[in-house]
Structure 1
Amino acid sequence: MAILVVGYTPGPANIYALSMSIRHGKRRVLNMWLGLLVGFSTAIFILALLTHLLGTVLGSYIGYVKYLGAAYIMWLGWKIYHTSGQTKKDNRDCTFWSGFIVQMTNAKILLFDLTCFSSFVLPYSNRLFDLLVVSAMLLIAGPGANLVYVYIGTYLNHFFSKYSKQSDIVMSLALALCAIYIVLN
Protein backbone atom coordinates (compact mmCIF):
# COMPACT_ATOMS: atom_id res chain seq x y z
CA MET A 1 0.00 0.00 0.00
CA ALA A 2 2.84 2.41 0.82
CA ILE A 3 4.26 1.85 -2.67
CA LEU A 4 1.01 2.99 -4.24
CA VAL A 5 0.65 5.99 -1.94
CA VAL A 6 4.18 7.26 -2.55
CA GLY A 7 4.18 6.48 -6.26
CA TYR A 8 0.81 7.93 -7.16
CA THR A 9 0.85 11.10 -5.11
CA PRO A 10 2.05 14.20 -6.94
CA GLY A 11 5.80 14.30 -7.12
CA PRO A 12 8.39 15.68 -9.52
CA ALA A 13 8.14 12.98 -12.19
CA ASN A 14 4.34 12.76 -12.01
CA ILE A 15 3.90 16.52 -12.31
CA TYR A 16 6.41 16.67 -15.14
CA ALA A 17 4.63 13.82 -16.96
CA LEU A 18 1.29 15.59 -16.52
CA SER A 19 2.67 18.89 -17.78
CA MET A 20 4.32 17.35 -20.84
CA SER A 21 1.20 15.34 -21.73
CA ILE A 22 -0.93 18.47 -21.55
CA ARG A 23 1.45 20.31 -23.86
CA HIS A 24 2.36 17.59 -26.31
CA GLY A 25 -0.33 14.95 -26.32
CA LYS A 26 -0.04 11.22 -25.85
CA ARG A 27 1.98 10.31 -28.95
CA ARG A 28 4.94 12.60 -28.28
CA VAL A 29 4.92 12.26 -24.50
CA LEU A 30 5.25 8.47 -24.61
CA ASN A 31 8.85 8.95 -25.80
CA MET A 32 9.50 11.10 -22.71
CA TRP A 33 7.76 8.46 -20.56
CA LEU A 34 10.10 5.84 -21.99
CA GLY A 35 12.92 8.03 -20.65
CA LEU A 36 11.18 8.05 -17.26
CA LEU A 37 10.95 4.26 -17.37
CA VAL A 38 14.58 3.74 -18.39
CA GLY A 39 15.78 6.38 -15.92
CA PHE A 40 13.84 4.79 -13.07
CA SER A 41 15.03 1.31 -14.04
CA THR A 42 18.64 2.49 -14.26
CA ALA A 43 18.47 4.36 -10.95
CA ILE A 44 16.83 1.51 -9.04
CA PHE A 45 19.23 -1.07 -10.50
CA ILE A 46 22.19 1.06 -9.40
CA LEU A 47 20.60 1.51 -5.95
CA ALA A 48 19.95 -2.23 -5.65
CA LEU A 49 23.54 -3.01 -6.64
CA LEU A 50 24.98 -0.42 -4.24
CA THR A 51 22.68 -1.60 -1.48
CA HIS A 52 23.81 -5.16 -2.08
CA LEU A 53 27.48 -4.13 -2.00
CA LEU A 54 27.33 -1.56 0.79
CA GLY A 55 24.25 -2.56 2.76
CA THR A 56 22.80 0.07 5.05
CA VAL A 57 25.94 2.26 4.85
CA LEU A 58 24.55 3.70 1.61
CA GLY A 59 21.62 5.24 3.47
CA SER A 60 23.74 7.92 5.12
CA TYR A 61 25.03 9.20 1.76
CA ILE A 62 21.92 9.04 -0.40
CA GLY A 63 20.56 12.18 1.27
CA TYR A 64 22.98 14.30 -0.75
CA VAL A 65 21.16 13.32 -3.93
CA LYS A 66 18.21 15.38 -2.77
CA TYR A 67 20.03 18.66 -3.38
CA LEU A 68 20.83 17.76 -6.97
CA GLY A 69 17.29 16.55 -7.47
CA ALA A 70 15.78 19.67 -5.90
CA ALA A 71 17.89 21.92 -8.15
CA TYR A 72 16.80 20.03 -11.25
CA ILE A 73 13.15 20.11 -10.18
CA MET A 74 13.36 23.88 -9.64
CA TRP A 75 14.84 24.19 -13.14
CA LEU A 76 11.95 22.13 -14.55
CA GLY A 77 9.44 24.37 -12.81
CA TRP A 78 11.13 27.48 -14.18
CA LYS A 79 11.25 25.94 -17.66
CA ILE A 80 7.53 25.10 -17.61
CA TYR A 81 6.69 28.63 -16.47
CA HIS A 82 9.14 30.27 -18.88
CA THR A 83 7.83 28.38 -21.92
CA SER A 84 4.18 28.84 -21.00
CA GLY A 85 2.08 29.77 -24.00
CA GLN A 86 4.59 28.57 -26.58
CA THR A 87 3.33 26.31 -29.30
CA LYS A 88 3.99 22.60 -29.10
CA LYS A 89 6.59 22.65 -31.85
CA ASP A 90 8.57 25.38 -30.05
CA ASN A 91 9.07 23.33 -26.89
CA ARG A 92 11.86 20.74 -26.93
CA ASP A 93 11.56 19.59 -23.32
CA CYS A 94 9.50 16.49 -24.05
CA THR A 95 12.31 14.08 -24.89
CA PHE A 96 13.58 10.70 -23.82
CA TRP A 97 16.57 12.36 -22.13
CA SER A 98 14.47 14.86 -20.18
CA GLY A 99 12.46 11.95 -18.76
CA PHE A 100 15.62 10.00 -18.03
CA ILE A 101 17.19 12.90 -16.11
CA VAL A 102 13.98 13.56 -14.18
CA GLN A 103 14.03 10.01 -12.81
CA MET A 104 17.77 9.85 -12.19
CA THR A 105 17.49 12.98 -10.01
CA ASN A 106 14.08 12.24 -8.49
CA ALA A 107 15.03 12.28 -4.83
CA LYS A 108 11.50 11.33 -3.75
CA ILE A 109 11.66 7.98 -5.51
CA LEU A 110 15.36 7.34 -4.83
CA LEU A 111 14.90 7.84 -1.09
CA PHE A 112 11.71 5.80 -1.09
CA ASP A 113 13.42 2.95 -2.96
CA LEU A 114 16.29 2.96 -0.49
CA THR A 115 13.80 2.97 2.39
CA CYS A 116 12.03 -0.06 0.89
CA PHE A 117 15.34 -1.90 0.57
CA SER A 118 16.43 -1.11 4.11
CA SER A 119 13.02 -1.81 5.66
CA PHE A 120 11.69 -4.78 3.71
CA VAL A 121 14.72 -6.57 2.25
CA LEU A 122 17.93 -5.95 4.23
CA PRO A 123 16.58 -7.19 7.57
CA TYR A 124 16.02 -10.57 5.88
CA SER A 125 18.47 -10.78 3.01
CA ASN A 126 21.32 -8.98 1.31
CA ARG A 127 21.06 -11.08 -1.85
CA LEU A 128 21.09 -9.07 -5.06
CA PHE A 129 18.27 -11.24 -6.44
CA ASP A 130 15.95 -10.26 -3.57
CA LEU A 131 16.77 -6.58 -4.05
CA LEU A 132 16.05 -6.86 -7.78
CA VAL A 133 12.69 -8.55 -7.14
CA VAL A 134 11.65 -5.61 -4.95
CA SER A 135 13.04 -3.24 -7.61
CA ALA A 136 10.76 -4.82 -10.20
CA MET A 137 7.77 -4.33 -7.91
CA LEU A 138 8.74 -0.69 -7.39
CA LEU A 139 8.30 -0.09 -11.13
CA ILE A 140 4.59 0.07 -10.29
CA ALA A 141 5.27 3.08 -8.04
CA GLY A 142 7.53 4.95 -10.43
CA PRO A 143 6.91 4.62 -14.15
CA GLY A 144 3.50 3.06 -13.57
CA ALA A 145 2.33 6.17 -11.76
CA ASN A 146 4.00 8.41 -14.35
CA LEU A 147 2.02 6.68 -17.09
CA VAL A 148 -1.22 7.28 -15.19
CA TYR A 149 -0.36 10.99 -15.03
CA VAL A 150 0.44 10.97 -18.77
CA TYR A 151 -3.01 9.61 -19.54
CA ILE A 152 -4.71 12.01 -17.14
CA GLY A 153 -2.95 14.89 -18.89
CA THR A 154 -3.92 13.72 -22.35
CA TYR A 155 -7.50 13.10 -21.24
CA LEU A 156 -7.78 16.57 -19.69
CA ASN A 157 -5.82 18.27 -22.47
CA HIS A 158 -8.83 20.20 -23.78
CA PHE A 159 -9.59 21.64 -20.35
CA PHE A 160 -5.98 22.55 -19.63
CA SER A 161 -5.42 24.05 -23.08
CA LYS A 162 -8.17 26.59 -22.34
CA TYR A 163 -6.27 27.62 -19.22
CA SER A 164 -2.70 26.89 -20.34
CA LYS A 165 -1.04 29.85 -18.62
CA GLN A 166 -2.80 29.16 -15.33
CA SER A 167 -2.08 25.42 -15.44
CA ASP A 168 1.59 26.10 -16.25
CA ILE A 169 1.81 28.42 -13.24
CA VAL A 170 0.21 25.80 -10.99
CA MET A 171 2.55 23.08 -12.29
CA SER A 172 5.58 25.34 -11.84
CA LEU A 173 4.56 26.16 -8.29
CA ALA A 174 3.88 22.48 -7.55
CA LEU A 175 7.38 21.56 -8.76
CA ALA A 176 8.89 24.37 -6.68
CA LEU A 177 7.02 23.06 -3.62
CA CYS A 178 8.33 19.54 -4.35
CA ALA A 179 11.87 20.89 -4.50
CA ILE A 180 11.47 22.81 -1.24
CA TYR A 181 9.94 19.78 0.46
CA ILE A 182 12.83 17.58 -0.71
CA VAL A 183 15.44 19.99 0.64
CA LEU A 184 13.68 20.42 4.00
CA ASN A 185 13.24 16.67 4.60
Structure 2
Amino acid sequence: MNITSFLLYCFIVTFTPGPTNIVILSTVHNTGTKKAMEYTYGATIAFGFLLVISAVLNTILVTIIPKILFVMQIIGSFYMLYLAYQVYKTDTSKPTVNQTGTFMSGFLMQFLNPKVVLFTMTVIPTYIMPYRVSMPTVPISVIAITVIGFLAFITWVLFGALFKEFLQKHQKFVNVLMALFLAYSAIMIWM
Protein backbone atom coordinates (compact mmCIF):
# COMPACT_ATOMS: atom_id res chain seq x y z
CA MET A 1 0.00 0.00 0.00
CA ASN A 2 1.28 3.44 -0.91
CA ILE A 3 0.76 5.40 2.31
CA THR A 4 1.70 8.72 0.68
CA SER A 5 -0.88 8.30 -2.07
CA PHE A 6 -3.50 7.21 0.48
CA LEU A 7 -2.87 10.23 2.74
CA LEU A 8 -2.81 12.66 -0.19
CA TYR A 9 -6.11 11.29 -1.43
CA CYS A 10 -7.68 11.58 2.02
CA PHE A 11 -6.41 15.12 2.62
CA ILE A 12 -7.28 16.42 -0.85
CA VAL A 13 -10.81 15.03 -0.79
CA THR A 14 -11.61 16.13 2.77
CA PHE A 15 -9.94 19.55 2.85
CA THR A 16 -11.02 20.86 -0.56
CA PRO A 17 -14.28 22.77 -0.84
CA GLY A 18 -17.32 20.57 -1.00
CA PRO A 19 -20.91 20.82 0.17
CA THR A 20 -20.14 20.04 3.83
CA ASN A 21 -17.20 22.44 4.04
CA ILE A 22 -19.16 25.22 2.36
CA VAL A 23 -22.14 24.74 4.71
CA ILE A 24 -19.74 24.79 7.69
CA LEU A 25 -18.23 28.08 6.51
CA SER A 26 -21.68 29.52 5.87
CA THR A 27 -22.89 28.37 9.30
CA VAL A 28 -19.93 30.04 11.05
CA HIS A 29 -20.63 33.19 9.07
CA ASN A 30 -24.36 33.27 9.75
CA THR A 31 -24.85 31.68 13.18
CA GLY A 32 -21.43 31.39 14.77
CA THR A 33 -18.78 28.87 15.74
CA LYS A 34 -20.88 27.00 18.30
CA LYS A 35 -23.56 26.06 15.73
CA ALA A 36 -20.87 25.21 13.18
CA MET A 37 -19.23 22.86 15.70
CA GLU A 38 -22.59 21.19 16.38
CA TYR A 39 -22.97 20.66 12.62
CA THR A 40 -19.36 19.43 12.42
CA TYR A 41 -19.89 16.79 15.10
CA GLY A 42 -22.87 15.42 13.22
CA ALA A 43 -20.97 15.47 9.93
CA THR A 44 -17.96 13.71 11.48
CA ILE A 45 -20.00 10.94 13.07
CA ALA A 46 -21.86 10.31 9.81
CA PHE A 47 -18.55 10.39 7.89
CA GLY A 48 -17.12 7.71 10.18
CA PHE A 49 -20.34 5.72 9.96
CA LEU A 50 -20.20 5.79 6.16
CA LEU A 51 -16.61 4.56 6.30
CA VAL A 52 -17.66 1.67 8.53
CA ILE A 53 -20.49 0.78 6.16
CA SER A 54 -18.06 0.84 3.25
CA ALA A 55 -15.55 -1.38 5.03
CA VAL A 56 -18.13 -3.91 6.22
CA LEU A 57 -20.37 -4.09 3.16
CA ASN A 58 -17.87 -3.44 0.38
CA THR A 59 -18.36 -6.71 -1.45
CA ILE A 60 -22.14 -6.36 -1.43
CA LEU A 61 -22.03 -2.72 -2.54
CA VAL A 62 -19.83 -3.46 -5.53
CA THR A 63 -22.74 -5.16 -7.27
CA ILE A 64 -25.24 -2.35 -6.60
CA ILE A 65 -23.01 0.76 -6.71
CA PRO A 66 -24.28 1.99 -10.09
CA LYS A 67 -27.87 2.08 -8.82
CA ILE A 68 -26.91 3.69 -5.52
CA LEU A 69 -24.68 6.26 -7.21
CA PHE A 70 -27.41 7.31 -9.65
CA VAL A 71 -29.97 7.80 -6.87
CA MET A 72 -27.40 9.60 -4.69
CA GLN A 73 -26.48 11.86 -7.61
CA ILE A 74 -30.09 12.90 -8.11
CA ILE A 75 -30.89 13.40 -4.42
CA GLY A 76 -27.51 14.99 -3.68
CA SER A 77 -27.70 17.41 -6.62
CA PHE A 78 -31.15 18.65 -5.66
CA TYR A 79 -30.17 18.92 -2.00
CA MET A 80 -27.05 20.93 -2.87
CA LEU A 81 -29.08 23.23 -5.10
CA TYR A 82 -31.54 23.69 -2.23
CA LEU A 83 -28.63 24.51 0.10
CA ALA A 84 -27.25 26.95 -2.49
CA TYR A 85 -30.61 28.71 -2.58
CA GLN A 86 -30.77 28.80 1.24
CA VAL A 87 -27.25 30.26 1.47
CA TYR A 88 -27.99 32.81 -1.26
CA LYS A 89 -31.17 34.10 0.37
CA THR A 90 -29.74 34.19 3.92
CA ASP A 91 -30.10 37.60 5.52
CA THR A 92 -28.37 37.84 8.90
CA SER A 93 -29.79 41.31 9.55
CA LYS A 94 -33.08 39.59 10.47
CA PRO A 95 -33.13 37.13 13.35
CA THR A 96 -34.14 33.70 12.06
CA VAL A 97 -34.07 30.14 13.29
CA ASN A 98 -31.33 28.45 11.28
CA GLN A 99 -31.76 24.69 10.97
CA THR A 100 -28.59 24.12 8.93
CA GLY A 101 -26.30 24.39 11.95
CA THR A 102 -27.65 21.41 13.85
CA PHE A 103 -26.08 18.07 14.69
CA MET A 104 -28.80 16.25 12.73
CA SER A 105 -28.41 18.41 9.61
CA GLY A 106 -24.66 17.77 9.67
CA PHE A 107 -25.26 14.05 10.13
CA LEU A 108 -27.86 13.76 7.36
CA MET A 109 -25.92 15.94 4.93
CA GLN A 110 -23.20 13.28 4.72
CA PHE A 111 -25.64 10.68 3.40
CA LEU A 112 -26.79 13.06 0.67
CA ASN A 113 -23.34 14.44 -0.15
CA PRO A 114 -22.11 12.62 -3.26
CA LYS A 115 -18.51 13.69 -2.60
CA VAL A 116 -18.56 11.99 0.82
CA VAL A 117 -20.48 8.93 -0.37
CA LEU A 118 -18.14 8.39 -3.32
CA PHE A 119 -15.07 8.94 -1.16
CA THR A 120 -16.17 6.55 1.58
CA MET A 121 -17.14 3.90 -0.97
CA THR A 122 -13.79 4.08 -2.72
CA VAL A 123 -11.09 4.83 -0.14
CA ILE A 124 -11.28 1.58 1.86
CA PRO A 125 -11.59 -0.82 -1.09
CA THR A 126 -8.95 1.06 -3.11
CA TYR A 127 -6.29 1.81 -0.54
CA ILE A 128 -6.77 -0.65 2.34
CA MET A 129 -8.48 -3.90 1.39
CA PRO A 130 -6.26 -4.88 -1.54
CA TYR A 131 -3.24 -4.87 0.79
CA ARG A 132 -4.48 -5.58 4.31
CA VAL A 133 -7.76 -7.16 5.28
CA SER A 134 -6.74 -8.04 8.83
CA MET A 135 -9.06 -7.08 11.64
CA PRO A 136 -6.95 -4.34 13.23
CA THR A 137 -5.94 -2.71 9.94
CA VAL A 138 -9.42 -1.90 8.62
CA PRO A 139 -10.82 -0.40 11.87
CA ILE A 140 -7.62 1.62 12.44
CA SER A 141 -7.87 2.92 8.87
CA VAL A 142 -11.52 3.91 9.38
CA ILE A 143 -10.58 5.79 12.56
CA ALA A 144 -7.61 7.50 10.86
CA ILE A 145 -9.70 8.61 7.88
CA THR A 146 -12.48 9.86 10.19
CA VAL A 147 -9.92 11.92 12.14
CA ILE A 148 -8.61 13.40 8.88
CA GLY A 149 -12.19 14.34 7.93
CA PHE A 150 -12.78 15.90 11.35
CA LEU A 151 -9.57 17.94 10.98
CA ALA A 152 -10.78 19.16 7.60
CA PHE A 153 -14.14 20.22 9.04
CA ILE A 154 -12.45 21.98 11.98
CA THR A 155 -10.17 23.81 9.53
CA TRP A 156 -13.25 25.25 7.82
CA VAL A 157 -14.76 26.23 11.19
CA LEU A 158 -11.51 28.00 12.15
CA PHE A 159 -11.30 29.68 8.76
CA GLY A 160 -14.83 30.97 9.22
CA ALA A 161 -14.14 32.13 12.78
CA LEU A 162 -10.90 33.91 11.84
CA PHE A 163 -12.45 35.72 8.92
CA LYS A 164 -15.92 36.25 10.43
CA GLU A 165 -15.63 40.04 10.56
CA PHE A 166 -14.52 40.17 6.91
CA LEU A 167 -17.26 37.71 5.95
CA GLN A 168 -19.91 39.76 7.75
CA LYS A 169 -18.71 42.99 6.16
CA HIS A 170 -19.07 41.42 2.71
CA GLN A 171 -22.10 39.27 3.55
CA LYS A 172 -23.98 39.42 0.24
CA PHE A 173 -20.85 38.72 -1.79
CA VAL A 174 -19.90 35.81 0.49
CA ASN A 175 -23.42 34.35 0.33
CA VAL A 176 -23.48 34.58 -3.46
CA LEU A 177 -20.00 33.03 -3.69
CA MET A 178 -20.90 30.16 -1.33
CA ALA A 179 -24.15 29.56 -3.21
CA LEU A 180 -22.24 29.45 -6.50
CA PHE A 181 -19.76 26.93 -5.04
CA LEU A 182 -22.62 24.72 -3.91
CA ALA A 183 -24.35 25.01 -7.28
CA TYR A 184 -21.05 24.19 -9.00
CA SER A 185 -20.68 21.12 -6.76
CA ALA A 186 -24.18 20.00 -7.75
CA ILE A 187 -23.45 20.46 -11.46
CA MET A 188 -20.05 18.72 -11.28
CA ILE A 189 -21.75 15.53 -10.11
CA TRP A 190 -23.04 15.11 -13.66
CA MET A 191 -19.77 15.94 -15.46
Q: Normalized against structure 2, the TM-score is what?
A: 0.85
Residues in 1 aligned to 2:44 and 2:182: alpha-carbon distance in whole angstroms = 20
Runs of 4+ in 1 over 6 A off after TM superposition: none
Mean Cα deviation higher: 34-43 or 123-132: 123-132
| 1:143 Cα deviation from its structure 2 partner | 2.6
Q: Is contact 2:39–2:103 with CA below 8 Å preserved after alignment?
A: yes
Residues in 1 aligned to 2:11 and 2:181: alpha-carbon distance in whole angstroms = 20
Letter matched to residue 164 of structure 1: Q
Deviations 1:110-147 (A, max 9, x none): 21222212211232345565433322122144232111
Residues in 2 aligned to 1:93 and 1:113: alpha-carbon distance in whole angstroms = 23
Partner of 2:138: 131
Partner of 1:82: 89
Letter matched to residue 25 of structure 1: G
Letter matched to residue 60 of structure 2: L
Q: Normalized against structure 1, the TM-score is what?
A: 0.87
Task: Map residues 31-70 of structure 1 onto 2, 5 A cutoff.
Answer: 31-51=38-58, 53-54=59-60, 56-64=62-70, 65-70=72-77
Aligned match for 2:11, one of 4, 9, 16: 4
Where structure 2 has 5 or more consecutive residues not aligned to the other structure, the ranges are 1-7
Number of residues of Structure 1 aligned to a counterpart in Structure 2: 183
% of aligned pairs identical?
A: 27
Where structure 1 has 5 or more consecutive residues not aligned to the other structure, the ranges are none
Aligned match for 1:160, one of 136, 156, 167: 167
Alpha carbon RMSD of aligned pairs, Å? Answer: 2.1
Residues in 2 aligned to 1:11 and 1:68: alpha-carbon distance in whole angstroms = 16
Q: Is contact 1:62–1:111 with CA below 8 Å preserved after alignment?
A: no
Partner of 2:109: 102
Mean Cα deviation higher: 92-101 or 132-141: 132-141
Partner of 2:180: 173
